[in-house]
Amino acid sequence: MSNISQKRRIILKTALASGAVGAAMSAGLAYTNPVTKSKNAWPKKAFNARSIDDALLELTGNSTIIPSPKKILIKAPTIAENGVAHITVKSSIPDTESISIFIPNNTSPLVANFKLTPSVINTIITRIKIESSGEIIAIIKANNKLYSAMTKMRLTVAK
């Protein structure tokens, strides 16, 4: 009897697992990349997280941040007109693996996560949307440690 129920569990588990994969495929979250042919799902939980700590845990498995304003340079205007601003994040930390931009006041604090390969120079220039005046935090992952820097931005005209 126990043998049968065990089998049943295994069947159920595999069915559930394949169902989940199928759902992800149909939602277009998992796709085959022509370059490496590897599947790389978008970190949905990290983007849905309401706090930086939760998002970081999902993204990197770690949420201990070392503040290092001298090693990370954020170039951004102090005023964001119409809620959009140009931002440059420059890291002088060796072996920078990823650069993430967080805005704690936004509905989804994680704005963007850039995964860099060693040949990429540790600078990212992009544009971000700001929902209200407040902090903008850049977090750099290097050698399994997280480093952060912060800047403040004021919002002038909302949409």
Q: Which stretch binds other proteins (CB under 8 A): 1-9, 12-20, 118-126, 140-148?
A: 118-126
C-alpha separations of 14 from 5, 62, 118 in Å: 14, 30, 38
| Contact assessment for residue 85 and residue 127, using Cβ atoms and an 8 Å cutoff | yes
The candidate with the shortest Cα–Cα distance to 49, out of 141, 6, 113, 125, is 113
Interaction between residue 35 and other proteins (CB under 8 A): yes
Provide the sign of the torsion angle of the four alpha carbons 105, 109, 111, 114, taken in this order.
positive
Residue 40 touches other proteins, criterion: CB under 8 A: yes
Q: Is 125 in the site for other proteins (CB under 8 A)?
A: yes
Q: How far is the CB of 106 from other proteins (least distance, A)?
A: 5
Q: Which spans of this chain sit near other proteins (rule: CB under 8 A)?
A: 27-29, 31, 33-36, 40, 42-43, 47, 83-84, 86, 101, 103, 106-117, 119-121, 123-129, 159
